[in-house]
Amino acid sequence: MTTTHDTTGPASFAVHIPDAELEPEPLDPEQIVSGAPEVTGRVLWESPDGKQIRGIWQITPGVVTDTEANELFVVVSGRATVEVEGGETLHIGPGDACVLREGDRTTWTVHETLRKAYHITL
């Protein structure tokens, strides 16, 4: 599977998310609160203007901070607690759909390696 770039939208495709090979996406050391979490991912499709991204993302156990994009994702495997600064604490696991707002400041406590499929709008 290769990343698709075109003006009419992505070609139809299917990806078996649990088995998909991912590439390292090193965290900024300042994001790591505790542990030694490692992030991997793979962009499946990106719009020509770069404002829509679909892909797979994975993080190993640990605690990290992030500032979120406008994102919808579905957890395929693993478990985490996501604390939204000034908002909800989300307990997410396999089968859960989650929406994060652009600009949300979050703390992710990853209990079991978490893999998700996502769509981001920038």
What's the distance, Cα to Cα, between the start and end of the chain in Å? 23
The whole-number pLDDT of residue 10 equals: 63
Token pair belonging to 43? 């962009």
* Domain region containing 75: 32-121
pTM of the model: 0.90
94 domain-assigned:
yes
116 domain-assigned:
yes
pLDDT, tens digit, 9 for 90 and up, residues 62-79: 999 999 999 999 999 999
State the total domains in the chain.
1
21 domain-assigned:
no
Cα–Cα distance for residue pair 38/20, rounded to 1 Å: 16
The whole-number pLDDT of residue 27 equals: 97
46 domain-assigned:
yes
The whole-number pLDDT of residue 8 equals: 61
Residues of the chain with pLDDT under 70: 1-10
CATH label of the domain that carries residue 110: 2.60.120.10
98 domain-assigned:
yes
Which one, of 122, 119, 121, lies nearest residue 72 by Cα?
A: 119
The whole-number pLDDT of residue 108 equals: 98
